[in-house]
Amino acid sequence: MEYRTGDTPGIGRYQCLHCGYIVRLTSDNEKLPACPNCGHHAFEKLEDK
């Protein structure tokens, strides 16, 4: 499952598919930003263990 900048996929960790940077969303209303590290727009969700 791929998520993109502007999506609101919910609380969790999302890893940039381009550089591997991990973005944390702390609210279900928070939008995925562009990657702060490389500016890419596609992420995958990391499962919390």
Residues of this chain that bind Zn ion (CB under 5 A): 16, 18-19, 21, 35, 37-38, 40
Q: Report the alpha-carbon distance of residue 13 to residue 49 in Å, rounded.
A: 11
Q: Six-digit token pair at 10?
A: 């919910």
Report, in Å, the least distance between residue 25 CB and Zn ion: 15
Q: In which residue are the tokens 């702060």 written? A: 36
Report, in Å, the least distance between residue 1 CB and Zn ion: 18
Cα 27 to chain centroid distance, Å, stands at: 12
Report, in Å, the least distance between residue 26 CB and Zn ion: 19
In the complex with Zn ion, which residue's Cβ is closer, 30 or 41? 41
